[in-house]
Amino acid sequence: MLKPSIFLFLCATLSCSQAWAQSKDKFDPTSVKLDQMENGITNILDRIFKLEKKLDQPPVVEALKQEILDLKIKIASMQKDNLNTTTESATKLNNLASALAEVTNDQQDIKAQIPNLKARLSNVEGTLIPIAAARRIVKNDTNDSAKIFRISTLGPLIDDLPMASNCGEIGSILSTYSDRSYNTAFVKSESDKVSLCTYETGRWQVFDSDEFAPGHVVTTE
């Protein structure tokens, strides 16, 4: 049987977890809007890249850049509103993990009193993992925007570039970070040849890079 103190702690944890789960449900529409905005930025950057190649569409390009700026402002505002929820999620993850470790010897009682505990842990981790992935993006020293590189300016970062075979994963991380300038990130082959992981024709693909091609850096884990 559970000690009274442990039982009370688990009940309190259960209540908090239930409250957070209900709160998370309320944020589902926000998550959908954020995904739509992030996809919008990816598509607009792709259109700008193609228009700039034509060299005769400056008004259209400027209008698209303004549209990206507006989307970035909206995303930043929504992410700020959700910051407290994310911090609270991290605290609950630690509390739930501690509770699980403390009562391992009473596993049968836990199953009866706190059903789906591991599922709740997975839900919290699902909120935190994208935030951890965004930390792999190299940012400017003066702000949080993704830093722009060229092959000649990569320097020691070449050693931290992910493999080209992971282009899809790198693209997914970059596409969720709104404060960027390009849909491109540097990757390398097994022979250390540097290439670009680029969003082209609706998917992330690897292309050869020249010394002038710009891109961002998403480091290996």
User: pLDDT for 187-221, tens place per residue?
Assistant: 999 999 999 999 998 999 999 999 899 999 999 97
Spatial contact of 205 and 198, defined as CB atoms under 8 Å apart: yes
DSSP state letters, 172-195: HHHHT--S-S-SEEEEE-TT--EE
Coil, helix or strand for 213? coil
User: pLDDT for 8-35, tens place per residue?
Assistant: 444 444 444 444 344 444 445 666 666 7
Q: Is 78 exposed, middle or buried (0-12, 13-18, 19+ CB in 10 A)?
A: middle
The structure tokens listed for 121 are: 């842990």
Instruction: For CA atoms 50, 214, 210, 62, give the dihedral sign.
Output: positive
Q: How many Å apart are CA 132 and CA 126, to the nearest integer?
A: 11
Residues 164-171, mean pLDDT to the nearest whole number: 95
